[in-house]
């Protein structure tokens, strides 16, 4: 698996299937209730990323919910919906019941929406032997520019995150095999931002536009 088992939905809502299990990131505005998640990873506590309503739709009794340490208290809103909660700090490597993950600080460099002091994260997860980077709500920070991965899922909508051009610049720096745009086309950003992103990413990086027109 490189990208075939990655699905992108509204905002930063992502589902990844691999030998390690079924992994959701920031489930949001889900239409169905698959309740098949082995892991749910949350990048930060904004309503469009931490949604107990959607965690309930994705989770089963054994699901492990992974959240930034500084939102441990808020995560208790979802405690009864999952098997257990694991907290992580920015800049760590950890094995969570067989899922290898690293956390990358996710923050705005100048904007006030995602301060570095909040301790929010993006994730690099190893799935089927590949390193998949889910950047979360971030700018092209020094930490993001140091990432090494096979696949990068990066926000492109602007306002609260990088815009399409800045996201392309980040991808051109870290040079994954494939890049997938997220966080556009609904609350912020236009669907055309994906075209601008693709036009600015340099070969040999392959851009794959995966955001679904309809929600799960």
Q: What is the pLDDT of residues 48-67, one digit of tens each?
A: 999 999 999 999 999 999 99
Q: Where are the beta strands (DSSP E) in the chain?
A: 6-8, 14-18, 21-25, 37-41, 59-68, 84-88, 93-96, 99-105, 121-127, 130-134, 151-155, 178-182, 206-207
Residue 1 included in any domain = no
Residue 216 clears pLDDT 70, i.e. is over it: no
20, part of any domain: yes
Domain count, the chain: 1
Q: Which domain holds residue 115?
A: 6-207
- Asked, for residue 214, whether it belongs to a domain, the answer is no
Q: DSSP of 63-105, one letter per residue?
A: EEEEEEGGGHHHHGGGGGGSSEEEEE-TT-EEEETTEEEEEEE
Between helices 164-174 and 193-200, what is the axis angle to 10°? 30
Sequence-ordered list of residues with C-beta below 8 angstroms from that of 87, at least 6 positions apart, any chain: 66, 67, 68, 69, 72, 75
The answer as to whether 213 is a domain residue is no
What's residue 75's pLDDT? Answer: 97
Q: Is there a domain that residue 71 lies in?
A: yes
Render pLDDT for 17-52 as a digit per residue (tens, 0 to 9): 999 999 999 999 998 999 999 999 999 999 899 999
For residue 46, give the CATH number of its domain.
3.60.15.10
User: Is 212 part of a structural domain of the chain?
Assistant: no
* 215: pLDDT strictly greater than 50: no
Average of pLDDT values for 55-81?
97
């Amino acid at each position: 698996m490189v990208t075939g088992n990655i699905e992108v939905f509204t905002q930063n809502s992502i589902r990844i299937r691999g030998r390690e299990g079924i992994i959701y990131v920031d489930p949001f505005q889900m239409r169905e209730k698959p309740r098949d998640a082995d892991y749910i990873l949350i990048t930060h506590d904004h309503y469009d990323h931490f949604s107990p309503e959607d965690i309930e739709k994705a989770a089963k009794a054994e699901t492990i919910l992974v959240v930034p340490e500084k939102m441990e208290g808020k995560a208790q809103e979802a405690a009864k919906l999952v098997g257990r909660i694991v907290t992580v700090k920015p800049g760590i490597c950890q094995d969570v019941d067989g899922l290898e993950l690293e956390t990358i600080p996710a923050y705005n460099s100048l904007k006030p929406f995602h301060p570095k002091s909040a301790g929010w994260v993006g994730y690099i997860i190893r799935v089927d032997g590949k390193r998949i980077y889910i950047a979360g709500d971030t700018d092209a920070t020094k930490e993001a520019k140091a990432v090494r991965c096979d696949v990068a899922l990066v926000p492109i909508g602007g306002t609260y995150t990088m815009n399409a051009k800045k996201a392309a610049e980040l991808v051109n720096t870290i040079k994954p095999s494939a890049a997938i745009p997220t966080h556009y086309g609904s609350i912020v950003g236009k669907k055309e931002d994906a075209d601008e992103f693709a036009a600015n990413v340099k070969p040999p990086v392959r851009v794959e536009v995966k955001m679904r027109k309809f929600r799960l």
